[in-house]
Amino acid sequence: MSKQYNNEEISRILCQDLIFSRTINDRLDETYALIRANARQIREGSAENSHRRVRKMGRRKIGRRLGLAAAVMVLLAAASLAVVAAGGFFVKNSSQTGDSMTYEFKIDYTLVPKKFEAKPSYLPEGYKEWQKGKYEKDEYARISIRTVNMDLMDSNSGEFDCVGVESVTTDILGGMDADIVQLKENKMSYHPFDKRIYLFNPDKGYAIALYGTDLVEMGELKKVADSLIVTETEEDISYTSEELKKIRQQRMEEENKKSMAANEAGVPADAVTPMGEEAGMVNAQGTEISDGVKYKVMEVIHADSISELPDLEEKYFIDYEDNSWWIREDGTLKPQGRVKADSWPLTGDEEIEQVQQKYLLVRVRAKNNSDSLKMAQGGLFAYLLRQEEDGHYSFMDNTVHKQVEVDNIQMESRPFYFDGAENIEGEARSDFYYYYLEPGEEKEYTLIWAVDEDVIDNVCLMVDYNGMYEPGCYDNKRFMSIK
């Protein structure tokens, strides 16, 4: 689809400063060279003052000038009316406010987008690909490469936006304009991805984002960017219609409002099942499904050391290598940093409080009360709830933990240990928490979390398959008290 301009927009475009890609700059250079050559014959020295060019960050910004030669007037007018087309598939505009950087793309919808993929022909010594587009030397020295095609660029996903920017420089890498971004030290993360290189190719219609952790030298990341081999795939891509974009945006805004209202409302008292009673899934009307799988808390143990727990088997840890990093030689858990998240986004300057963790072991029994095979899960979600004077529960969710990799010892508030796991080999581990129960079958198992010792009494377990909720409908979920 193409963008139509009304008279007011055309007037605004004609009056604005224009930022062009290197391709258009080269054409302008040629045009200006001819004009200056002719002008020197007519008026020595005057052309340079009349037609001064301003360079900024490797790009050309052409200011409005009176008395431009007719050839340039025609070129600029045509470029103004079709500024996006002049720049190829898109024109990039970036802006920086404080330490925040945002990107905006003006897209020419008349051009048919293609899908591209990028792969490096150079990697620093010791780096290997462990997943598509992801390379590592060890668990903290990592490089990630992401190709951003036109459909994603059109979605305004904020792919290139970033906060905590320390510096931005520009270069030409792999024949493309490059923004080289260094982020400030982030005390909230261990070995964060603090280096970014953004490559833009408006002529072919794609961009590439490279990320490197603090253990990757920027010079090495630039070499990787300069070595990229970009290939066009046979897969078709298409833009989302403006109508669908509006529908999605409206839906997102509505869901955000409902989610905020749900968080403020908290959890009704009758949605929390007392310890020792069965809790099951509920339908959209908040009615418990009587013939589904029911869960019951059988036992709860708080422990300072792993030696106080029953013997644990390595295969039942969600990720033994990562999980064991948190366990000291004496069996106690390492403390983790915690900040109060009273406002978003975090700046990285928040004060970090070191909080000791304890083991939370919960024995759960699951029973299939139906007459058919049912899927159940051991990955119950741990929520921090505080009961208020009127009986309802509010969320204690204004704290954020210092990151290790993407998550802490447990992911998405699920237990890091589940000894009822059946999917423990190879690719089946992607379904680690899930299992099936025959009609009438019962299963009892152990779940273990690491919890900050000062809030361990506030943990409640949510009975759900994926931890998500219908916006505004926490009363459509069931929580289990463990005290």
Task: List pLDDT tens digits, range 363-411.
Answer: 999 999 999 999 898 989 898 899 999 999 988 866 666 543 334 577 7
User: What is residue 475's DSSP assignment?
Assistant: G
323 inside domain: yes
What is the average pLDDT across 259-288? 81
Residue 82: strand, helix, or coil: coil
Q: What is the DSSP string of 182-243?
A: EEPP-TTBSS---EEEEEEETTTTEEEEEEE-TTS-HHHHHHHHHTEEEEEEEEE--PPPHH
245 inside domain: no
The CA-based dihedral angle spanning residues 93, 97, 101, 102, taken in that order and rounded to the nearest 10 degrees = -50
54 inside domain: yes
414 inside domain: yes
63 inside domain: yes
> Which of the listed residues 87, 102, 130 is the one where a domain comes to its end?
87
Shared-domain flag, residues 126 and 209: yes
176: tokens are 């493309």
Query: Which pLDDT does position 15 carry in this prediction?
Result: 40
User: How many domains does the chain fold into?
Assistant: 3
CB-neighbour burial class of residue 153 (10 A; exposed 0-12, middle 13-18, buried 19+)? buried
CA dist 182 → 138, 170, 171 (Å):
22, 12, 14
Say what the pTM is.
Answer: 0.59
Per residue in 66-104, pLDDT tens? 333 444 444 444 443 344 445 599 999 999 998 899 999
- Residue-range definition of the domain harbouring residue 46: 7-87
Q: Give Cβ neighbours of residue 324 (< 8 Å, ≥ 6 apart).
A: 317
Q: How far is CA 298 from the centre of its chain?
A: 38
Q: What are phi and psi of 40, to 5 degrees?
A: -65, -30
Shared-domain flag, residues 223 and 153: yes
Residue 61: strand, helix, or coil: strand
Shared-domain flag, residues 231 and 341: no
Shared-domain flag, residues 74 and 130: no
Among the listed residues 192, 185, 189, the one whose alpha carbon sits nearest the alpha carbon of residue 216: 192
Shared-domain flag, residues 307 and 400: yes
**What share of the chain has pLDDT > 70, as a percent?**
72
162 inside domain: yes
Shared-domain flag, residues 22 and 110: no
Shared-domain flag, residues 443 and 405: yes
Q: What is the rounded distance in angstroms from the CA atom of residue 459 to the CA atom of residue 222?
A: 46
